[in-house]
Amino acid sequence: MQRSLERLQLVLLSGFVLIALALGYWQFFRQDDVLARATNPRIAEEARRVVRGKILDRTGKVLAENLPDEDGGNHRTYPVGGMAAVVGYHSGQFGNSGIEAKYDEYLSGTRSADPFERLRDTLYHRPTVGSDVTLTVDARIQQAANDALAGRPGAVVVLDPKTGAVLALASAPTFEPGALDEQWQALLDDPTRPLVNRAVGASYTPGSTFKLVTAAAALDLRLVDPRQKFRCVDPIKIDSLTVDCRNHAHLANVDFREAFAWSCNRTFALTALELGTPKLQLADGLKAPFPWQDALGASANRLEEYARRFMIGRPIPFEIGVEGGQLKGGNAWYPSLLAQTGFGQGEIATTPLHMALVAAAVANGGNVPAPYLTTEITSPSGAVSTQNRGGGVLGRAFEASTAQTLNEMMVLSVDTAYAKPAAIANVKVGGKTGSAEAGPDGSLTHSWFVGYAPADDPRVAIAVIMEHRGSGTDFATPAARSILQRALDVYKR
């Protein structure tokens, strides 16, 4: 019996050796594979336990934070309304957008400035706490922008032209990120497309606001004396396109500054066409052969060059994805297209952020500030990952003397011409309106305003667009005034 007992022992113990091997197989070798499967409820459990970091505005006001649930989990809340264009959303079902997407790794705690933080959390079995993200935006300025848009399709960008810090980034209509899961389908079906961030994610015909770029090119290339008066009454015909002077019908003789302030399409069509010539010929009485006939390629190159300096047609590096837009479509330049582009029509399309940077470059002595949204990412232990004090530049768009002239022109526009509704008592304001025609035929124009204040020492630059609303003067300009006023009240350095 001893032998059979020994054999029995051998069989039973072999069984346990197999068990030990199988344990090693599942607990060690197959670990990653089994845990990565959708059948593992721990992934969702751990995610639910993570206390996502806060998103704060420049004053420390909480824009997004997690509040505990009764069952030990927690959920994301957005205490300040109207911040969705900046903050974005965080949804278990539909992913992330905006800052929530850009800094998801930090917010969710998978990355941290303190490399030992996660290890400590794991060792002490503490739920992971994500890093906090502090933004450049000011909830109060954002509020003013939202109020000005009043929920109708449009966008506002407010930034500090010297640092590039974005103070407000509003898009209307918007959504409530805390209720995203319930409203998702309705938001997708909504024809006004509330999920699109119009401030950076939509390209618009810039209309007359683009005259800033055309003017900048002419001034920077010293093709025009801004104070030389010329007679500007007769419409001109370029191919089948007729461009007239109806915007300043009361003024027959203007100089370049006045033509800008009164937004003369004829002047800027000619400016664009003649950028490749040694001297702009803007006065009435032009006859064939026209000065641009041999210079079309050179003129187009120069306009393209100046547009490129503002990244028009290219995405701007930014925390939230920016549309590139375009200066023109795929076709080659032809005279009437170049002429139209000169006053912001034609095939050109650009985002409100791009146009805010054009105004900011004027306010910043010709340097295009690099826009940014995030000042700091701070881990729970206080380690700081990203620290942006601003002041970066995307490039130099034009010389300081050009900036000075453009500033003069924009102040003139606010003081005397179409941008008058932007005027603020005791503050010099520079601005340019735009009423951009953008199909369908018969629809109202996009109402644009770009500008900055105070003009003698600019602190805030702004771009406002209100879709299919009417003239820039009547809608975007007074809206910009109220936002600028609020920004100057609260944004002090």
Quote the least distance from Cβ 38 to another protein, whole Å.
Answer: 8
Q: What is the largest CA-CA distance in the chain?
A: 126
Q: Are 354 and 301 in contact (CB under 8 A)?
A: no
Determine if residue 150 is left, alpha or beta; phi over 0 gives left, psi from -120 to 50 gives alpha, anything else beta. left
Q: Indicate the residue among 72 and 115 with the shorter CB distance to another protein.
A: 72
Interactions with another protein, residue window 15-74 (CB under 8 A): 15-16, 18-20, 22-28, 30-31, 34-35, 37, 39-42, 45
**Cβ neighbours around 125 below 10 Å, total:** 6
Quote the least distance from Cβ 117 to another protein, whole Å.
Answer: 18
Using alpha carbons, select from 385, 389, 492 the residue that is nearest to residue 133: 385
Candidate ranges 11-19, 166-174, 263-271, 422-430; the one touching another protein (CB under 8 A): 11-19
Decide if residue 297 touches another protein (CB under 8 A): no
Quote the least distance from Cβ 427 to another protein, whole Å.
Answer: 58
**Cβ neighbours around 448 below 10 Å, total:** 32
Q: Indicate the residue among 30 and 231 with the shorter CB distance to another protein.
A: 30
Quote the least distance from Cβ 50 to another protein, whole Å.
Answer: 15
Q: Indicate the residue among 126 and 231 with the shorter CB distance to another protein.
A: 126
Residues 6+ apart with CB under 8 A from 3: none
Interactions with another protein, residue window 265-284 (CB under 8 A): none
Candidate ranges 14-22, 183-191, 370-378, 428-436; the one touching another protein (CB under 8 A): 14-22
- CA distances to 153, 383, 475, 482 from 464, rounded to whole Å, are 11, 37, 9, 11
DSSP 8-state secondary structure symbol assigned to residue 53: P
> Any bridge partners for residue 62, and if so which?
56
Q: Indicate the residue among 3 and 250 with the shorter CB distance to another protein.
A: 3
Q: Indicate the residue among 121 and 284 with the shorter CB distance to another protein.
A: 121
Residue 299 has which token pair? 């003129």
Q: DSSP readout, 202-237?
A: --B--GGGGHHHHHHHHHHTT---TT--EE--S-EE
Task: Quote the CA–CA distance of 141 and 487 in Å, as a whole number.
Answer: 6
Q: Indicate the residue among 12 and 425 with the shorter CB distance to another protein.
A: 12
Quote the least distance from Cβ 10 to another protein, whole Å.
Answer: 10
Q: DSSP readout, 293-336?
A: TTTHHHHHHHHHHHHHHTTTTSPPP-SS-----BSS-SSPP-HH
Binding mask 111-140 for another protein (x = CB under 8 A): --------------x---------------
Quote the least distance from Cβ 347 to another protein, whole Å.
Answer: 54
Q: Indicate the residue among 1 and 288 with the shorter CB distance to another protein.
A: 1
> Any bridge partners for residue 460, and if so which?
453
Task: Quote the CA–CA distance of 325 and 316 in Å, as a whole number.
Answer: 10
Number of residues binding to another protein, judged by CB under 8 A: 35
Interactions with another protein, residue window 391-420 (CB under 8 A): none
Q: Indicate the residue among 18 and 150 with the shorter CB distance to another protein.
A: 18
Quote the least distance from Cβ 379 to another protein, whole Å.
Answer: 22
Q: Indicate the residue among 37 and 493 with the shorter CB distance to another protein.
A: 37
Quote the least distance from Cβ 8 to another protein, whole Å.
Answer: 6
Quote the least distance from Cβ 111 to another protein, whole Å.
Answer: 22
> Any bridge partners for residue 129, and if so which?
51
Q: Which helix (H) or strand (E) holds 170?
A: strand 166-172
Q: Which residues bind another protein (CB under 8 A)?
A: 1-9, 11-13, 15-16, 18-20, 22-28, 30-31, 34-35, 37, 39-42, 45, 125
